[in-house]
Structure 1
């Protein structure tokens, strides 16, 4: 028989969330997350708003809840654990919608991210990667890998896919940073979102006059057919532009740093041209780093049972993927980076109907990058002490702001 969850105790015993990582352990989840997983399947945490929400730390429980239609991704539902203060004006399209509207909108942009379509892009991505490495080798040494390589690769790719001019990358990258930072005020976040929507609305007007063979022109055709509002298309464009460069850029930089700190693993990747080994390395780095580290969040619409306990309707749950991907019940010796393991069961891209739409593209880009960068620059190494690197502890996507490297 299921039990109703009991009060966790005095307010002082409820830890704040997000929880800090341990000093000197930049690749590992916060120690308090591991402790919570060992103590039991569920615990309470407190967010910025002073309210308490349920924290799910175990892999099996997270996957079960992410599949449950009785939980909602919509931020205006009672109990939803907002990541930061909001005025409800910054709509980021279908990622925070439930079916059937979520599925209807998602289907509009699924085709360009299909595996076969993405594989056809591989030669173009390889050309981008090689040209950027050529530029690095011909330029100053040392160099910031984030600015010179990690950000340009996915930005060039997503701009080409969407039909957004790459010359505007500084504009959308700066506004994207404001959107994903927890430190951004409501007013500044709303202004950044508004600037991006306005920019994409202008671009939509241009594509109505001169459509091209790109994803955004396809959305414009949906608007003209009455299947999508113009505002809805612009908001979808913000989501795709933001997700298309921010996460992959951080995986490139943080993955490189992790490999440089694990030279025996770096050697495995640098010394192989086997596509299967490179693909396996990508999956393990995704598991090990889990850069979307603010927890997947849901509001409970009807009482649900989790690990023999009941969570009531109107309560909220937070599911940090980084601790699920370190669950010893699923991954042997989970705190060890092992590029030879089969890590394909990870939840770095989420799970269920809201699983990341762009994961085939991200995987392909990372395979090209990890399979090329260290082979072409075999003496790549840090040009700074890791303790001095500026890590992104204040946003929904983890990484480094700068990564000085030399060779």
Structure 2
């Protein structure tokens, strides 16, 4: 394989590793028996969710800023982000003694906002999506001379992220597949550059698969026509990788090095977060869990040892609460039923007895006589219960039907 015309060479990535090591930790590589059983081959989790600042972003941000001239450092830096890039830039600026200004949207999660401020950055809130902060950061750079630090589309950022690829190969030398979350493409273009070039030098091949949230998947249509296209992003819990258009440099490197890009649904992502919490005891943000979501969804072939990158762990506790509930429902562990009952004493008690017999725990009950379409002799019971999975869920429904009720699954 020839060296890329526009991306970092293996020698440049190896040189960058020494620089990035000044601030970035060598994060753990954890094996997962559960995912091994799902995939049919060993699965290792590369835990960048445990990285300083909570994501891999510190690698690219620090390397980019370490290469600024003294004159550029004196002007300060500016960036725009809803979370992980902001924290990476703020932390790197503090370590390098550079003034940082970060533009963030008004609705940014409080933990991400506070962490960015705690690292010493001057945070300015603009707009309700990341678009307004990006425009504001560009204007600020023009007005003040501050150096704009892009989140993914820059050779130094890509080279910094590529150090993660070398780390993976050091920790898992026999890896056959690396699964990487994709937003704009900074992480996967760096990791793929490192992995593919090192593998070629060793006379072997390593498969690299990118994963996007289906509601924010700009790479599949872009790859299909051979150029980066802008898409309309739909609401997604994986907001950290919700990027409307691939980076220019990143797209070229993905085309050159990445074997396949797959997408995962919101339910897939929620299930992955739940699996990581319960089985691996790891807190991961939705964007950082799409690699595991792809494995659970059957999107990754079993070709040998697989490394799934967990790219970040900065999740708002309130979002985590909602995602866990969604993940439980997606895993058939919440069951919502609507049951029409005759309006006479003892019916609610009978339903409760049947659910207790089925060992289903009741979460919420709504008992009303005023629903649309109800007869004078009827009441409507909406009830939510916890179940232990698909088989137990079906047992609950069958027991109610066997007792003469006709539950509708909500």
TM (norm. structure 1) is 0.28
TM (norm. structure 2) is 0.28
More strand as a share of residues: 2
